[in-house]
Each structure stands twice: as C-alpha cells, then as structure tokens.
C-alpha cells in the first residue's frame, strides 16, 4: 500500500473539516475492510483517510419506544448481529449476517461502510431497502436524511458528496411485517452473489399488503421492483400469485452479465428467487394462528438459500 495521512477526529464536526469536497483521494474510513482491499490492489491511493472510529457517539444501537431502531454508522456488523433488540425488531438482519462474509470481517466492517461502499453485491443494502430504512448524513452545510433506497446512484456509486458522512441508520418499526433475504452464489458458497432478493410485506391471513421487493447483485445497483410489488399488493398468497410476482420481477429488472452469470441467466434466477423469498417470509415469520403453509415446491423449495 502507498503511504497516506490518517486523521482520527473525535467529533463529527472535526471529521467533516478533514474531508475535502474537491479531492477524491481523501475519504472517510470505517472498519477499512473494503478500503484496505482497494488500497492493496492499488485501485485506490488515498492521500488522507479520516477514521471515524474515535467518534464514540457513532457506534450505538438504540431501541426506540415506537419499535424502531437507530444504529450508529460505526457499529461493527457483529454488534448488530448479536443485538437482541435487532433480533426482536428486525430478525431478517440477523439472519442475513450469518452468510455475510465471515466472522472476522463482521467484527470489523461497519454499517456505514456497508452502505457507503456502493457495491451492488453487498447483502445489507437490499435488506435495509426492503425494511424502508433511512440514513442520517452529516455535511458541512448541515444534516439531511435519505432513504437507503435513494442512496445508490450506480455501480459502486452513491449520491453522497465527498465531504459527507453517514452518521446513523434508522430502521422504522416493522410491526407485524414479515421479511426475508435470499442470495444465490454461483461460485463457491461464500462467493459474492449472482443475485440477492429481499422482500417484506404485511400479511393479514393470506392477504398481502404494502409489499417491498428489492433485487441486488444482478443489477447495476440494488433496485426496488415496482411491478412485482404491484402484483403482490392486496393479493391473496398462493402458488399462482408467487409465480406471477416472479414473472413480473423478471420482466422489469435490468440484469447485467458478469463472471457470475449472464443477464438472461440472472433473470431466470430472479424469477425463481422472488417466489422463494416471498414464500419464505410468509412462512418463516408466520404467526401461530395463520393459515396452513403453501404447497412445497419440490427440489426448488428445499434449496432455500439464506438462513
């Protein structure tokens, strides 16, 4: 790695002063897991990194009285994974963590880094979009909040300015919403996914409402699938509905080809995984008194994916 200057401010205000709106070689530093890889590969040569680790106020998990959660941007993923409040209020996040990289990376990588990196293959952004999460962003001219769904501008691109930092993640109360995230890895099991699908919805008996369906990895950036959502919205869940939702998703998503699969292949994966994800969310988080499970999908259903 090439040498750089490391700033370790104690407050957000000081951190902002070290950043530079006009210099792409100055960047905030969270856990450094992604930046270290980029620096080692020589694709990023910083002149200055602004470490946010010493800003104590940024690594707390707060359970709000209304059922929501606030997670500081510097909170390591493993703290989120092991939080009983997160497990209780947004269990899908904890289930997602189990297959997100490995224990050592989760011990160091931060929530802010997961969001700001903008890699479309990452697991948490689609999940947080499905949960309708938003982030608090601090800049020199003040603070703003932004829905996670509006954060990504393209492949490895976000709408954040060079002198802005993410300070907090806010996950609204999920009430009785059910959620699931599935990913499909086409290389080794722990490779980056060819496809990620996150869903969440309310279910009243078998009737689905307010669905959110998000695709990641197979597209340029994590994207909501409005067509699939429209199919699910207000409908009664059965196998035919799942099939139509999968078809709608496959019709609208702009999948891209890469080493993990061709665009048409990922389109077919999406068709199947939307079906599975909705099914899993419906069944896995089914309250005890709800209707009997759907017919099993044979081989397909059994392969399930994420835990």
Ligand X SMILES: Cc1cc2nc3c(=O)[nH]c(=O)nc-3n(C[C@H](O)[C@H](O)[C@H](O)COP(=O)(O)OP(=O)(O)OC[C@H]3O[C@@H](n4cnc5c(N)ncnc54)[C@H](O)[C@@H]3O)c2cc1C
Q: Which long-range contacts (CB under 8 A, 24 or more apart) does 263-268 make?
A: 263/218, 265/194, 266/194, 266/195, 266/218, 267/218
265 touches other proteins by CB under 8 A:
no
Binding residue for ligand X, selected from 26, 92, 109, 180, defined by CB under 6 A: 109
Q: Which of 190, 207, 183, 187 is closest to 276 using CA atoms?
A: 183
**Which of 79, 81, 123, 149 is in the footprint of ligand X by CB under 6 A?**
123
Using rule CB under 6 A, residue 129 touches ligand X: no
166 touches ligand X (CB under 6 A): yes
Among other proteins, ligand X, none, the one that 112 touches (CB under a kind-dependent 5 to 8 A) is: ligand X
Q: Give the binding range for ligand X (CB under 6 A) out of 2-10, 17-25, 111-119, 142-150.
A: 111-119
Per CB under 8 A, contacts with other proteins among 87-106 are 98, 101-105
5: partner contacted, choices other proteins, ligand X, none (Cβ within 5-8 A by kind): other proteins
38 touches other proteins by CB under 8 A:
no
Q: Is 37 in the site for ligand X (CB under 6 A)?
A: yes
Choose between 101 and 290: whose C-beta lies nearer to other proteins. 101
40 binds, among other proteins, ligand X, none (CB under 5 to 8 A by kind): other proteins
Phi, psi of 97 (to 5 degrees): -60, -35
Q: Which two tokens stand for residue 211?
A: 């669905």
12: contact with ligand X by CB under 6 A: no
Q: Which residues fall within 8 angstroms of residue 193, CB to CB, at 6 or more apart?
A: 121, 123, 183, 184, 185, 216, 217, 260
Q: Which of 19, 34, 198, 217 binds ligand X (CB under 6 A)?
A: 34
Q: Which residue is nearest to ligand X (CB)?
A: 113
Structure tokens that stand for 5 in this block: 């200057």
Cα–Cα distance measured from residue 89 to residue 100, given in angstroms and rounded to the nearest whole number = 19
Place of tokens 């002198």: 163
Binding interface with ligand X (CB under 6 A): 27-35, 37, 52, 73, 100-101, 105, 109-110, 112-114, 116-117, 122-124, 160, 165-166
Binding interface with other proteins (CB under 8 A): 1-6, 8, 32-33, 36-37, 39-40, 47, 49, 51, 53, 78, 98, 101-105, 107-108, 189-190, 307
């Amino acid at each position: 790695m090439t040498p750089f200057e490391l700033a370790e401010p104690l407050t957000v205000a000081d951190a902002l002063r070290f950043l530079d709106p006009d210099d792409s070689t100055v960047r905030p530093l969270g856990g450094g897991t992604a930046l270290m890889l980029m620096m080692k590969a020589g694709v990023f040569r910083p002149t200055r990194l602004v470490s946010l680790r010493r800003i104590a106020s940024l690594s707390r998990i707060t359970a709000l009285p209304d059922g929501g959660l606030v997670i500081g941007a510097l909170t390591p993923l493993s703290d989120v994974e092991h939080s009983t409040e997160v497990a209780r209020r947004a269990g899908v996040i904890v289930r997602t963590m189990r297959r997100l990289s490995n224990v050592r990376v989760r011990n160091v990588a931060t929530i802010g880094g997961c969001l700001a990196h903008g890699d479309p293959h990452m697991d948490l952004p689609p999940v947080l979009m499905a949960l309708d999460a938003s982030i608090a962003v601090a800049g020199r001219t003040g603070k703003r909040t932004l829905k996670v769904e509006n954060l990504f501008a393209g492949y490895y691109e976000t709408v954040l300015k060079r002198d802005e930092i993410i300070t907090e993640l806010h996950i609204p109360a999920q009430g009785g919403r059910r959620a699931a995230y599935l990913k499909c890895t086409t290389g080794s099991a722990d490779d980056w996914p060819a496809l990620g699908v996150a869903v969440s919805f309310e279910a009243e008996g078998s009737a689905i409402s307010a669905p959110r369906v998000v695709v990641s990895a197979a597209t340029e950036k994590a994207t909501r699938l409005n067509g699939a959502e429209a199919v699910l919205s207000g409908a009664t869940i059965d196998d035919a509905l799942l099939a139509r939702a999968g078809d709608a998703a496959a019709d609208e998503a702009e999948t891209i080809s890469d080493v993990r699969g061709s665009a048409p292949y990922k389109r077919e994966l999406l068709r199947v995984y939307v079906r599975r994800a909705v099914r899993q969310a419906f069944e896995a988080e089914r309250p005890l008194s709800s209707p009997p499970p759907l017919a099993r999908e044979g081989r397909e259903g059994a392969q399930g994916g994420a835990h």
